[in-house]
């Protein structure tokens, strides 16, 4: 009986951890919870404004990973 051959390959990429700040791109922060990363500030802002118009009670911020700055959407 032949044994299966296992090869060592690159590990599968993991999903980004929710408890660590990203190092690039922009993230929407909704009531203190990070949401998926976006590539541009405009995409993050339009997504945040869409959420804010639907749910006005939410506190929504845009986090810029390069400058490490948060901007509150009003």
Please give the pLDDT value at position 18.
Answer: 63
Domain locations along the chain: 26-72
Q: Per-residue pLDDT tens for 18-69?
A: 667 778 899 999 999 988 888 999 999 999 999 999 999 999 999 999 999 9
- pLDDT confidence tier of residue 73, bands split at 50, 70 and 90: very high
**Structure confidence at residue 9 as a pLDDT band (50, 70, 90):** confident
CA–CA separation, 33 and 57 (whole Å): 15
| Residue where the block lists tokens 């639907």 | 54
d(C-alpha 7, C-alpha 59), whole Å: 48
Check residue 14 and give its pLDDT: 67
């Amino acid at each position: 009986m032949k044994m299966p051959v296992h090869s060592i390959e690159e590990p599968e990429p993991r999903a980004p951890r929710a408890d660590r700040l990203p190092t690039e791109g922009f993230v929407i922060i909704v009531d203190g919870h990070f949401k998926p990363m976006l590539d541009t500030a405009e995409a993050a802002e339009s997504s945040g404004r869409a959420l804010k118009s639907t749910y006005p009670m939410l506190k929504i911020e845009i986090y810029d990973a390069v400058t490490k700055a948060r901007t509150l959407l009003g």
